[in-house]
Every structure is written in structure tokens, then in C-alpha cells.
Amino acid sequence: MSEKNFGFLMKAKIQGDKLPDYRGTVTIDGVEYELAGWIKTSKAGESYLNLCATEKDEAPAKKHAPVVKKEVKDDHFPF
């Protein structure tokens, strides 16, 4: 997106308990952010959208965490 201070949210294709209901991007002052939105209900029973913005260049730790394999050496297995 090249427009300043412009963004969008779309219904997320993958749904889950902890996953956002909506995803999108927004550009503010030339910096692009990824948006995530969750539909929540207040104590008064009103629906609202809870948002999280992450700079696009920031990679979440879980996405790029190295896979650690542990080798187990034990000659006492019965099979």
C-alpha cells in the first residue's frame, strides 16, 4: 500500500480460539503495519473490535523459532 494513513481489515480465512477474527494492513506515516482484530463482548454486553498492530518488518518469534531436535541414546529399549 502506498497511500499514507490508509488500511484495511478482512475476515480471517483461518479461525481459531486464539487466532484473530480479522487481518489486514495499515500504512501510517510511511510505515506499514500488520493488523489483527478480535471480536469481543464487553461486560455490558456490547460487541467491539480489539486490535493489535505489528510493524511488518518485525517477525514474530514463534514464526522463526528454530526447531530443536533432541537425540535420545538409550540401548535399553525392548524393541
21-73: per-residue pLDDT in tens?
Answer: 999 999 998 899 999 999 999 999 999 999 999 998 865 555 444 555 555 55
Scan for cell 481489515, then name that residue. 9
Instruction: Quote the domain boundaries for residue 66.
Output: 1-79
pLDDT of residue 36: 95
Distance CA 11, CA 43 (A): 24
pLDDT of residue 31: 92
pLDDT of residue 1: 45
Q: How many domains does the chain have?
A: 1
Residue 8's alpha-carbon distances to 29, 48, 62, 63, in angstroms, are: 16, 17, 25, 23
Name the nearest CA neighbour of 32 among 10, 54, 9, 62.
Answer: 54
pLDDT of residue 66: 53
Model confidence band, residue 15 (pLDDT cutoffs 50, 70, 90): confident
Residue 38's alpha-carbon distances to 15, 53, 59, in angstroms, are: 11, 12, 20
